[in-house]
Amino acid sequence: MRKSLCISAAAAAVCLLAASCGKEALKTTYGKQEQYIESIVESLSKDDTVSVTRNEGSVRVTIAEGEGEGLREGGAVSFYYAGYFISSGSLSPGNVFATNYDTFAESIGWAVSDSTTFAIQTVDLSEDDLVEGLRNGIIGVKGGEECYVLFSGKLGFGSRIVGTIPRNSALAYHLWIKSVSNN
């Protein structure tokens, strides 16, 4: 009895140690992702007309200002996008996992024969469920704006593999905002 209790206690200690190591590794991964994001932000914001907005772990780099009222919580936004998973300090066309913008798709060599894939996306923040990083990053966007929203894996899909997106991936969305409506 005493031997099995010791074995159980040792097994529990090993599990706790493994979980602790896993958490530390993930913390290190997210830290490296934050460095990659800062490198990308720096490369995108070399022009004086570019602005950088930070909101709860997300970074929005606006490269073309929009007009009108900024998107608020509960509002709706229509946009084209290109989604990237971030694996280095730059955005690579090879890391694009999705787009609904035919012009962008053609520019990176994707087939655009299925026109149903390339339709404007409308998201209602009072109803639609978005990954936390994207939701945080689009608050404040304006119609006509072009921007990038970047965030680490802890604000993305986490440990889930989604399509071709690796688990715990940092993500970037290149957004072409068409309209914003705050009800």
pTM of the model: 0.86
Please give the biggest Cα pair distance in the chain: 73
Contact 61, 44 (CB under 8 A): yes
Query: What single DSSP character describes residue 61?
Result: E
CA distance 95 to 179: 27
pLDDT on residue 3: 54
Contact 157, 142 (CB under 8 A): no
Query: Could you list the pLDDT tens digit for every one of the 183 residues in the chain?
Result: 555 544 443 344 333 334 445 788 888 999 999 999 999 999 999 888 999 999 999 999 999 999 999 999 999 999 999 999 999 999 999 999 999 999 999 999 998 888 788 999 999 999 878 899 999 999 999 999 999 999 999 999 888 888 889 899 999 999 999 999 997
pLDDT on residue 25: 85
Candidates 108, 180, 173; CA nearest to 141 is 180
pLDDT on residue 113: 85
CA distance 70 to 150: 18
The dihedral over CA atoms of 86, 90, 42, 156, expressed in degrees to the nearest 10, equals -10
CA distance 78 to 14: 50
Q: Look up residue 146 and give its two tokens.
A: 């072009």
CA distance 151 to 168: 11
